[in-house]
Structure 1
Amino acid sequence: MHALLACAAAEIPVNDPEYRRMAEVHYIKAVSGLRQSLVQAHGPSQRTVVLWTVLILCIYERSKPHHSQGVDVHLNGAAQLIQMYFQQKTPDASTIATDIWMPRLFLESFMFHVATSIPFQLTSTASAPIDSAFSLAETILEVLCRPHISVDANSPVLGVPPKLFQYVYTISRMYQQYPDGVDIRHCRGLEQDLRRWDTLMAGTAAPELLAGPKLYVLCARILLNRLIYLAGNQPDHLPAQDYFAEYYSWPFLVLGTCAEKQSDRQILLAQIQGFWQATNNGTMRRLENMLTTYWTSGKSTAQNNLWLINMGSNAFQSPAVTKSATTPYFTPANNGGAALHPDDPKTPTLFRPLQIRNVTLKNRIMVSPMCMYSCESDPSSPHVGALTNYHLAHLGHLALKGAGLVFIEATAVQPNGRISPNDSGLWQEGTSSEQFLGLKRVVEFMHAQGAKVGIQLAHAGRKASVVAPWLAAQAGKPSLKADESVGGWPANVAGPSGGEEHIWSPLPDAYWAPRALSTAEVREVVAAFAKSARLAVQAGVDVIEIHGAHGYLINQFLSPVTNKRTDEYGGSFENRTRIVREVAAAIREVIPEGMPLFLRISATEWLEGQPVAAESGSWDIQSSLELVKKLSEWGIDLVDVSSAGNHQDQKINVHTAYQTDLAGQIRQAIRAAGASTLVGAVGLITEAEQAIGLVQGADEATAAEAMLSGPEPKADAILIARQFLREPEWVFSTARKLGVPLTVPVQFGRAI
């Protein structure tokens, strides 16, 4: 690991003396510990780690011109260490396939491909130790292909099919006779044959990795590529990029299984990304996904060797696409959108992880809930309110595009809580219902794309039972009532208060007049939120959000304009906010302690100065500032700050930052009160610099410094909705503009 750290530090520009010093310190520690490590190593896995440490030291030396002579020193040192450990061993037919020789074989193979690949061309003066390093490979082939070993056409030699044996023998003889009789076209033909043998052996059991046919093919590839290189006399005549990536993956794979600390793992990922950019080879991208999968799989150190053998066999003999562990069917695992250097001071806060209880978001970018009005509307159908294949495609696509958290649309906790008959819901009983199964299927696929998944639980209240907005638009109206013929529920539209005066819009046919909920029904609504939350947890959701904004039921209870009740849920500020407290408490009772709970609010109704507010007051920014101080003790971890939507007389001063300014005021009030609730900003966030400015410095570790040195951040995270519909690649395009390297979906690596 010291060798790897030396390489990592050396990647920093040499004009940074601190990183140069760090590189030298780790380099010295690695060199000084090599001999003792080799003597104490037990078993092939530990010996392989030691040998690959030597390789990484070689790369460290080779990567800096003023250290070029270190390649010779370390290569010769590696040979001496190997001889010291194996000095009593001589290769023969009985020992050739054991673990003793495979690390050395990999060492020689890798050193050759490093020497002949374009990123690491050695000078002619450094070629002698590379040439001598092939002596053992030659010896192995001589032992395996010696004339006195009979080749029976019907029986394999050491498990090697006779046809493959003849290939290896031919290559060995050509190598021994070089330069006489070497035909570059013949070499190319043999190369294709060996690739076919690789394919045929793809399913070989893991324990056979160190024996028989695979050893033959590896030996043959070493010498064959050496022949092609010598015959062509130019590095670009050799497919060095492919082989370089293939063999360089081995030390990273070994070290990755030994990396316990998150910091070490980040260094590994940074190095892998660097080599992927240098070689543009998919093997390094596959390796990144493999290690990420391994680190999250919970395997113990004792399982490293077997896992390494299996992954080595699958990934480098015949690479396999990594399957997601979250779906019962095959789909590739992804995790795009994570910063490669999250701890680098140059990485903007926007692309640093955010820890909320036990959930870690890979960045501070969230996809807001967006209603799609695309569910079954027939109340007699078991599929009513269930997510469909449309949602799988829509939400899966968003999850693939790098956001740290993707919200599923507003999901009704009761049938009459839907905005339209085509809204999603989660009120059906049990885990075998179509609503539950549809949600679970979508969540599983979203997780496979690397996103955390949130769900917004909602009740539309008096704004319910309208048709999908595009249907209203086609009729030339901003809203249009949904009657029973299309699955609506005119008689069961309900809110805190009832009557014609509480219709949301006075326009003809826009909304139904609500009836007032009884006190018992309000408590049923609270229980319904808890029931839906419990089902969401069982479906695998990571985050729950309570929808308390935009004029829907909870927002209606908060506002004195729409809440004229005289029971415990109306009148005073405490009574009007009671429903938030009770819903939060009910949900907290049924979700894990480590699960985050969000609340979306309308920070203001924008009714200041309007006659309706003069009569009874309204919900304004001061009301929200008072509410948010209580959220932490109510178990709410983040307040998602929006505005408006509760009354048709609203007068919004629309500008780019009109809602993010509200978020900033709320965050200041929370911090001033000594509370810990996080703040999410939403609304017209479209540009990279704008997004950075909202959250920069919001890391709790640097918050105090940020407040002293510059403007305090307005939010801890941002939520984006329509911009993701216009530009699904927003996370990646923003990162490019800011110069932040990210992981990308494996299928899109060639384009992003």
Structure 2
Amino acid sequence: MTENTNVQRSPTTYRRARRRPAYLRTKTGCLTCRRRKKKCDETLPQCLNCTKQSRPCLWQTPQHSPVSPNEEVNGSSGSASSEIVFEQTMETSQEINRCTDNSVLSLCHLPLSHSPAITPDSGPLFDFLRSTFLPQLIHPATNHSVTDGLNRETMVLALGNSFCMHALLACSGAEMPTGVESFRQLARFHYTQAVAGLRRVLNENNLERRWVVSMLTIMMLCIYERAKPTGSPGVEIHLAGAARLIAFYSGKSLNAYHEDHISSPQLSMHRLVRESFIFHVATSLPFQQQSDGDYIEIETAFSLAEQAISRYFQPDILSHTDSPVLGFPPQLFRSIYIVYRLYQSSRSQHISVEKRRDLDHDLQQWDEMIKKDSHEPITTNQPPGRKRDAINSSIMKTKLNGNSMGPKLYILGCRLLLRSRAGQCQLTPAIDELLSEGIELVSQLQPEQDYYADYYCWPLLAIGMHLKSAVDRQLLLRQVWAFWTATNNGTMRRLADMLNFSWR
């Protein structure tokens, strides 16, 4: 007899099959994401999808109006977007030219939508760019009309080329004297966008037409890398890239600077980027590594840039108030470059006494020209009985500080380097005498008022590494920290570490 057992079984349940994933499509905003069939990540004025892919972000209208999902994006809409961007650029240029005040501060009333690179979060960076960073790119002794014109042309180029604006905003975020980390993150974002945009431009066939804005962007990227407190190989990379652009343009347009079709503002910008290249090549050597291949390429471009701007400098005039960056003839910066290269090579090979003396003789002539230029007779309307010598002494000291302080420090630094590791080489004056003169000039610097911090990093290092007195070292280090506090200049911060290391 079998026993019937009823087993209660629960009904088998199955999960319903998942439906096919929804077809991703954009509902608002970006034309680029619509082409990629990707739902737009709405971050005005540039969506994060395009940011991650380093793509140009094209919005439907200047007001960023929503895009219907049923609208079809075709070539005509893309061309319309390009026309909108072009019209915005033309309107911006016209608005800048209509400003009665030539100062760059007159741009404060322009809406941020004039450039897709300026996001709402980047507003503080843009304010700092207009009020502080952009005016400080020009030598402080440069004529005000020249400074205002260059600032205006730089802003026009940046508003018309978003990758250039990204580079300027990156520098502003890196050098803002604040500890807000979000600004540093924004600076890195703008730096990445500037590099991506520059690469796209370099791959185009109209590089000659956009040569100036490309060079300006590279110089800004170089400044960003130099602002890092820990040094960066990016300085060498950007200088090598600028060297290739200079060689390219020199080969394409041998007589470009003498042609009638180039306007005066364009010539000023050509001079600006070339002087900036010469300055960074000559003064960045102690703070970054340089390979032999790049050294040859950069030095060739240095000569081409020097040749291109030589007609702006007169041999009998030392201080040039129309010079946007150097302030003095480029031959002086070539001497700076050569002397430090020799100082680097002296670690592994012997430098002849004759070569040291020839270079020192050239530097001495520069020094005598500075003294003559700084102590030329100054006529003053003084009341009877007032001591003339006291008045002239005060005026001449002010003039030396304003126009000749930087070159004087550079010359002292070069002459100290020529005497370093020289063995029994008897060059006059001796190191101690030069150091006394150098520390006196360093004590006259005013970091709270002088914004040209990058201009002083090289000579302060050359002088500081030869100091033996603890008092002199502390004086120079206080000036370095004062520059760092006032300007947030990363090279100054690195200079303090380099000096402390060399004094151990």
Shared fold, TM over 0.5: no
From the two aligned structures, give the one with the greater helix fraction: 2
The structure number with the bigger radius of gyration is 1
TM-score normalized by structure 2? 0.31
TM-score normalized by structure 1? 0.22
